Amino acid sequence: MTETRVLLEITDLVKHYPVRSGVLRRAAGTVHAVDGVSFSVGVGETLGWSASPAAASRRWPAACCAWSSDQRTASGSRRGHHPPQQDRLAAASALDADRLPGSFASLNPRMMAGDIVGEPISVHGLATGRAKQERVAKLFEQVGLRPDQMRNYPHQFSGGQRQRICIARALALGPRLIVCDEPVSALDVSIQAQVINLLIDLQREHGFSYLFIAHDLAVVAHISHRVAVMYLGRIVEIADKSELSEIRVIPIRRRCSLRSRSRTPDRSA
């Protein structure tokens, strides 16, 4: 996919975590979660990330918006029109859609689903009262939930429905980029397909971009226009999806096993 307009550009992103040990919690080493990573996401594009299983490397994309603002172009047209602080806020709100792997963990169990989805709208002062309720009801419909479920609590929903609540919350601010961190890995196969289809449908409708992170390369390759494969903090490969399926030589990709989940079990293998 050839993209001319760039929505997000990150250059030379570095994130190291100290590893502490002993009684005094002295730094014993450093985890190079991200080590000089540069990439861009185009408008309406899905950039898939297949990270190595190191847990630390999965948390960075959402965090990067907070501390790499100078390296970020939130949107070519809007940059420069806002003072830096405001620009950061605008970008953060566009990006705050990160979803935790277990959708249950990211939903406050004491809040009703409607309030969870409506919270970003209140925080940013976009709508109040009846107008807010109507907006939330519309979001519920968009993600395939019934508006009368707005009064239910998170535990009353199934795993797939909870993921839909998270998606609705992400959509509440009309973002241009959504960071999806393992959105389907905790779901049953039958529900996973529903959520993947929903994400693709919503993108077609609204034209926003995804930064889609998952360990399952087959899922990443299915949903993405471009795919980046990360290993030990570096991008070892970034390619258009069409090229990715042709080249199967890079050892890390074999480790990520693009074909590990073939549709029919092969007994000879």
Interface residue list for other proteins (CB under 8 A):
46, 158-161, 188-194, 196-197, 200, 217-219, 221-225, 241, 244-245, 258-259, 261-264
Min dist CB 189 to other proteins, Å, is 5
Min dist CB 130 to other proteins, Å, is 31
| 21/158 with CB nearer other proteins | 158
Helical pair 60-67 and 84-95, crossing angle rounded to 10 deg: 170
Report the C-alpha gap between 138 and 154 in whole angstroms.
19
Q: At a CB cut-off of 8 Å and minimum separation 6, what does 34 contact?
A: 13, 14, 15, 57, 60, 64, 233
Contact 133/118 with Cβ under 8 angstroms?
yes
Min dist CB 187 to other proteins, Å, is 9
As to burial, measured by CB atoms within 10 angstroms (0-12 exposed, 13-18 middle, 19+ buried), residue 218 is middle
| 44/120 with CB nearer other proteins | 44
Min dist CB 263 to other proteins, Å, is 5
Residue 160 in 3-state DSSP? helix
| 126/218 with CB nearer other proteins | 218
| 34/51 with CB nearer other proteins | 51
| 46/103 with CB nearer other proteins | 46
Q: Which of 95, 176, 94, 172 is nearest to 133 (CA)?
A: 172
Min dist CB 162 to other proteins, Å, is 11
